[in-house]
């Protein structure tokens, strides 16, 4: 459905229309919850949300994707007994009320273009679309940065995912058409220009991940364990982020094999984020491709969040002449890969990936070229 039909549909129902983009992380994976560095951008795949106020305090939500309608009362918000998609909406509503803002009941309809469990922040996008919409119809406002932090808390407390701040911050704040280097400790954000010579091609492996299922939280715990071991020797180190690539050598013999691997990924990935920013600034696209490939190797071997299908897909994408480097994107355990591609060779690369991976999975994979997107906001229906 295009923007014009979404607008007229909302208008016909006297509803207001909101949208929040998906995010594509260029580099800096599993670093955010270690106070580290990330480099996401947003893409024009949106969670679309229409909302009209109700007179009572019920929030009724329909998801077109999952063909489901559920409701809850703003006077009694509790995590669902059977965890599910509504918890993301409940969490956002609950935390806004805790901020002292009294929300109005609402009829909400959600339609997302972002593949669920694909590593493109479908959850954060739903959270931010919801936060914007609930606040607006209740006559309240909040800064995007504050909304991002609130939505992160909502995901942690209501969906049980101990996520970092990257997804919510990118969806809420990343400027249109740019990447954002975010320091997840200070929350200092710097815009990074993406050269026109490169495009980011995203391909879905078809393997869905579910973050509340445990693998993600388990990695966060392992990073904490590695940190605790390091702190026994150097209590001044507050997070893995405080360790440089050469500085890690000092701790190598003191860490067990698993802790060393996890720590090494985080430490080297932070370094790669800054190298990637430098490569983008000097239009060194070959270097960017190389860094993206190195990030993938580290995620596969040291962080162990890849899977067989992702490996096949990365290999296929990297065999395309127009592709400079590929890696898994988002939390991992399936989902999408990102390929840094010469803009002039996007079409031929897509054709090859389509045909080669299509033969393996027996169907054409979902492929998307990252396109400029606005951060989460209302779409004017007037
Ligand atoms: C998920 C989380 C983010 C981040 C990435 C991995 O998308 O929500 O906070 O940790 O995984 O980089």
- Convert the pLDDT of each residue in 307-318 to its tens digit: 999 999 999 999
**How far is it, in rounded angstroms, from Cα 301 to Cα 345?**
30
Segment 48-57 shows an average pLDDT of 97
> Distance, CA 124 to ligand 1 centroid (Å)?
10
Q: Where residue 82 falls among pLDDT bands split at 50, 70, 90?
A: confident
Beta-carbon contacts of 296 under 8 Å, excluding residues fewer than 6 positions away, are: 306, 314, 325, 326, 327, 328
Its sign, for the CA torsion 232, 238, 241, 247, is: negative
**What is the pTM assigned to this prediction?**
0.97
**Is it the case that residue 153 has pLDDT exceeding 70?**
yes
Give 182's strand partners: 38, 189
Which among 252, 351, 245, 341 is positioned nearest to 289, based on CA atoms? 341
* Average of per-residue pLDDT values in the chain: 96
What are 342-371's pLDDT values in tens digits?
999 999 999 999 999 999 999 999 999 999
Residue 81, pLDDT score = 87
Residue 58, pLDDT score = 98
Cβ atoms of 95 and 154 within 8 Å: the answer is yes
Q: Which of 87, 167, 204, 242 is catalytic?
A: 167
> What are the chain's domains?
3-193+373-379 (3.30.230.10), 198-369 (3.30.70.890)
Pocket test for ligand 1, best of 149, 157, 167, 182 (most atoms within 8 A of CB): 167
Q: Is ligand 1 within 6 A of the CB of residue 33?
A: yes
> Catalytic residue at 197?
no
Ligand 1 atom nearest the C-alpha of 124 is: 8
H-state helical runs in the chain: 3-12, 86-98, 122-137, 144-154, 166-173, 215-233, 257-281, 285-301, 308-318, 346-361
Cα-based angle 248, 251, 256 (whole degrees, multiple of 5)? 115
Its sign, for the CA torsion 364, 203, 370, 289, is: negative
Cβ atoms of 324 and 26 within 8 Å: the answer is no
Q: Is ligand 1 within 6 A of the CB of residue 30?
A: yes
Cβ atoms of 83 and 21 within 8 Å: the answer is no
């Amino acid at each position: 459905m295009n923007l014009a039909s979404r607008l007229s549909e909302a208008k016909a129902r006297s509803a207001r229309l909101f949208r929040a983009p998906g995010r594509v992380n260029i580099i800096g994976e599993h670093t955010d919850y270690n106070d580290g560095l990330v480099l996401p951008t947003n893409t024009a795949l949106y969670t679309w949300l229409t909302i009209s106020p109700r007179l009572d305090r019920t929030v009724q939500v329909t998801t077109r994707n999952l063909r489901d309608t559920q409701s809850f009362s703003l006077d009694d918000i509790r995590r669902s007994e059977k965890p599910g998609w509504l918890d993301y909406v409940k969490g956002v509503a609950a935390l806004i009320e805790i901020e002292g803002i009294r929300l109005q009941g609402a009829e909400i309809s959600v339609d997302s273009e972002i593949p669920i469990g694909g590593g493109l922040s479908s959850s954060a996008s739903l959270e931010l679309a919801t936060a914007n919409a609930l606040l607006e119809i209740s006559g309240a406002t909040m800064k995007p940065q504050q909304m991002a932090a609130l939505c992160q808390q909502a995901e942690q407390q209501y969906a049980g995912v101990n996520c970092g701040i990257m997804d919510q911050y990118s969806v809420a704040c990343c400027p249109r058409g740019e990447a954002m280097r975010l320091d997840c400790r200070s929350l200092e954000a710097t815009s990074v220009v993406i050269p026109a010579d490169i495009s980011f091609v995203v391909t879905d492996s078809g393997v869905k991940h579910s973050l509340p299922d445990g693998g993600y939280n388990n990695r966060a715990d392992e990073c904490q364990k590695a940190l605790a071991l390091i702190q026994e020797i150097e209590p001044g180190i507050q997070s893995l982020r405080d360790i440089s690539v050469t500085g890690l050598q000092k701790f190598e013999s003191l860490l067990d094999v698993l802790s060393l691997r996890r720590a090494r990924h985080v430490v080297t990935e932070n370094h790669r984020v800054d190298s990637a920013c430098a490569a983008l600034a000097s239009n060194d696209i070959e270097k960017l491709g190389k860094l993206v490939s190195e990030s993938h190797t580290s995620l596969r071997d040291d962080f162990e969040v890849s899977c067989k299908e992702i490996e096949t897909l990365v290999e296929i994408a990297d065999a395309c002449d127009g592709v400079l480097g590929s890696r898994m994107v988002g939390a991992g355990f399936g989902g999408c890969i990102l390929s840094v591609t010469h803009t002039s060779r996007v079409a031929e690369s897509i054709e090859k990936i389509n045909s080669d991976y299509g033969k393996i999975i027996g169907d054409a994979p979902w492929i998307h070229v990252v396109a400029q997107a606005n951060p989460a906001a209302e779409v004017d229906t007037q």
